[in-house]
Chain A
Amino acid sequence: MKRIYLDHIAGTPLHPDVVDAMLPYLKEKFGNPQSLHSIGQEALEAIEESRDKVARLINAESADILFVSSGSEANNFALKGLAFAHQSRGKHIILSSIEHQSILHSAKYLEKFGFRFSHIPVDEFGLVDPEDMRKAITDETILVSILLANGEVGTIEPIGEIANVCRDKDILFHTDAVDAVGNISVDVRALGVDALSLAGNQFYGPKGSAALYVKKGRRILPFIDGGIQESGRRAGTEDVPAIVGLGKAAEIALQEMESRMERMKTLRNKLMKQLPQAVEHVFLTGHPERRLPHHASFCVEYVEGEAMLLNLDLKGISASSGSACTSRALKASHVLLAMGIDHALAQGSLVFGLIDRTNSEDIDYLLEVFPPIIERLRKMSPLYTQYLEEKEK
């Protein structure tokens, strides 16, 4: 059966060149970068080269890039490391209400140490209003962390404006850019952020490859104590193949960004426009324009997400959902609820993320198999029956 992978949010496949770049470091170039001998030094050179490539992708200084093992680690590192390093100035931190769990749960952890959090709301498109953020600032505020783009609804936040407010007030600003970096142009200098999280598995790099950017001069507490790796801020023997893979993915992303974006936008726009036309009561979630170029997300009324995903999978299509049943915790997506979408509609959440190899036929195939799936599920749905009965009245 044809397999069509539209689950970019869960991770991208590896670019073939990334695999080729990594392979020697899984084989003959196995050295520990901290070793003095030439096999070790060869590995050290490779990770420093990767650092340069990742830095170039986001227009940063190489020395400001710290390699970590996942986007979640980068977020934990940023929030906890900055909070603890600057707590003498205050213990108040501002977040948006649609942050990733790795930010929200890090906040819960910090609450145990006396930190206080304000969660600023988003509008129906998932957009943060910088004015709301400004109002939430107190004399005690030391840090603001707001994501650059949300993986579930695709909305791109006004990060530059938010960073400006923070700079004026001398408050540190971190952005979780895991879903954005490598997919859209991100420039840490132009944005004016103090720290930024990114992950390779969102742009055709390997899983377990990620980085935290921390601007020079910003104090941050080490995340793993131990040796001198990552300038003593993140100890532990480096995952050289992953770091090399991340570097290669960053290099390719920088070269291919424009053409990838254009191609995906065309296909994505087709999906965004035609899916709600193919089936009634399908609503776009997130912002119609200010969104990631590969991202199309919807809520399908009267049906539940997991049932849709299983049916799509049986047709060879991989997608994801923010419905309660699809989450391990059996909770509806906090992102959709924060956007004011009610529980019943949030259950019908469906997220598509195109990848570089997605083509027009794939989208046509999805548009072809989708309506009968929904029709079948709605025939089973008591909520749809209720709707039809009320319509008749």
Chain B
Amino acid sequence: MIYTEKVMEHFQNPRNVGTMKDADGVGQVGNPVCGDMMTFYIKVKDNRIDDVKFQTFGCGAAIAVSSMVSEMAIGKTIEEALKITNRSVAEELGGLPKNKMHCSNLGADALHKAIENYQERQKAKQDPPKKSEDKESCYCPYCDGPIKGIENYCQSCKVEFEDCPECKKPVNKQADKCPHCGATKVRV
């Protein structure tokens, strides 16, 4: 088996699966092109995460990570929940295969995004609504390193990226096709 017992246990019996109609914050990360997609819903009471629901499209690791993150977050204060890191999730699961570490990034990210969304909503209640800037971050699909739009290189696995001429998202320089929009790159 490629996964630890703990991963398989969460994969088979994921906790807190579902959606939430009256969520206080919603966060979505990933897309089917990268392989995984997660949506987290949180309910907050007295600055504490009272309930979490999630939905995940992805592999065994992605499902187990989502389940673990949801379990870790419930009962924590907002500040504590923001401290849940990729590493702590992977550790709680007894480790993940190297090429699946990016799944744990997604799990913590989805939770943090839901919290950010909650905080923005709280702020909007006090201040007049402002258009929030969507922070587009993507993780290198070959390792767990984050790739930001402005950078053209994944420091972690040394893959060079360039912006897709069509959708402007970062693409491996060696790739013939953009994995985000499918545009074929013309080689000279």
Contacts and interface: CB of A to CB of B under 8 A. Distances in A.
Interface of A: 302-307, 310, 314, 323-326, 328-332, 337, 342-344, 347, 379-385
Interface of B: 8, 11-12, 14, 17, 19, 28, 32-39, 55-60, 62-63, 99, 141-142, 177, 179, 182
Contacts of B177: 337
B55 A382 contact: yes
Contacts of A379: 17
A120 to B, nearest CB: 14
Contacts of A314: 12
A326 B2 CA distance: 11
Among B12, B28, B32, which residue has the most Cβ atoms of chain A within 10 A? Answer: B32
Contacts of B60: 306-307, 310
B35 A304 contact: yes
Contacts, number: 78
Considering the complex of A and B, which 3 residue pairs feature the smallest CB-CB distances, nearest first? A344-B32, A325-B59, A306-B59
A304 B36 CA distance: 8
B58 A304 contact: yes
A305 B59 CA distance: 7
A335 to B, nearest CB: 13
Nearest to A344: B32
B19 A330 contact: no
Contact of B57 (A326, A332, A342, A382): A382
B57 A304 contact: yes
Given A304-B57, A310-B60, A337-B177, 15 more contacts: A304-B58, A304-B59, A304-B62, A307-B63, A323-B35, A323-B59, A324-B35, A325-B58, A330-B35, A331-B179, A343-B179, A380-B56, A380-B63, A383-B57, A385-B39
B32 A383 contact: yes
A203 to B, nearest CB: 28
Given A307-B60, A325-B36, A380 B12 contact: no
B99 A347 contact: no
B32 to A, nearest CB: 4
Contacts of B56: 380-382
13 contacts: A302-B57, A304-B58, A304-B62, A306-B60, A307-B58, A310-B8, A325-B58, A328-B99, A330-B142, A337-B182, A380-B56, A381-B55, A382-B28
Contact of A344 (B33, B39, B142): B33
Among A302, A325, A328, A379, which residue has the most Cβ atoms of chain B within 10 A? Answer: A325
Nearest to A347: B32
A305 B39 CA distance: 19
Contacts of A381: 55-57
Contact of A382 (B8, B14, B38, B59): B38
Nearest to B97: A328
Contacts of A302: 57
A325 B83 CA distance: 27
B63 A343 contact: no
Contacts of A307: 11, 58-60, 63
A205 B32 CA distance: 38
Contacts of A337: 177, 182
B182 A342 contact: yes
Among B36, B57, B177, which residue has the most Cβ atoms of chain A within 10 A? Answer: B57
A329 B35 CA distance: 12
B99 A330 contact: yes
Contacts of A330: 35, 99, 141-142
A307 B66 CA distance: 14
Contacts of A343: 32-33, 179, 182
